[in-house]
Amino acid sequence: MDSSKVVIITGGSSGIGKSLAFEYGNHGYTVVITGRNAENLKSVENELIQNNIQAKGIKCDSANEEETKQMIQQVVSEFGGIDILINNAGISMRSMFESVQMDVMKQVMDINFWGTVYSTHAALPYIKERKGGIIGISSIAGYRGLPVRSGYSASKFAMNGFMEALRTELIGTGVHVLIACPGFTASNIRNASLNSEGKITGETMREESKMMSSEEVAKEIYKAFESKKKTLVLTFQGKLTVFLNKLFSGFIDKMVYNTLKKEKDSPLK
């Protein structure tokens, strides 16, 4: 198996990140996963290795610029370069804006947006050397603001704008940039979402069994990148929401409100 190509996946120890690690590993990549929980990283690293995937877990807080720089340097030192960076690390929140503490908004922005900026800035020279690529795991919330998730939506709108600007800057360099918006996916992001006080809720408010699986999402992202797509919006609901929001924003305001009002313990009345 050719393991000369190197992919870094931030937030790679669970959900979409973990599924992407297996997807790219099964296509011959050396896989580097990062995250804040060393125990979880080691467990996934072992799983990957048991499946004949060359893998390395590196503890790194994406919201910490210095840790991110050190992580990138460690990857280059150990594996010789970087082909693809997948900015997947993310956290959600669930609170009415009027009752949320400002440090919750900041924490979401630090991880989802600044984490993407830090890792991309540190890795870009090496990705340009190999004419590789950068993938941002965004969200439908990056196209359509979601009530009770104002901070999350803001962070994903910011990510989309950043990635689009970067894609344009990199024209002619051979570096491909993909913005991937999975829609609602069965993963642990809702279980780990923050409430108005910044505490982890520990439970999902949606029916995970009816959502697209993280493995399916990973396969679609791999295919989209290989076919040089600029954006990927997944699920019929996601595509429809993005399309209709451009044409009928007032109607979509009500539709989104009524949909999220049905969530378990929704603060929307």
152 catalytic? Reply is yes
Q: Which residues pair with 181 in a beta bridge?
A: 233
Q: Which residues contact 123 (CB under 8 A, 6 or more apart)?
A: 8, 72, 82, 85, 134
Two tokens at 147?
Answer: 């009530």
Radius of gyration of the chain (CA): 18
Element (H, E) at 9: strand 6-10
How far apart, in Å, are the Cα atoms of 257 and each of 83, 131, 148? 41, 43, 9
Two tokens at 107?
Answer: 């924490």
Q: How far apart are CA 88 and CA 11, in angstroms?
A: 6
Helix axes 150-169 and 115-129, enclosed angle (nearest 10)? 20
Half-sphere exposure of 216 (CA within 13 A, CB side): 11
Map tokens 């600007």 to a residue.
Answer: 165
Phi, psi for residue 178 in degrees, rounded to 5:
-125, 130
Half-sphere exposure of 76 (CA within 13 A, CB side): 15
Cβ atoms within 10 Å, residue 196:
17
Sign of CA dihedral 29, 180, 233, 228: negative
**Considering 118, 126, 143, 152, which one is annotated as catalytic?**
152
Catalytic residues: 152
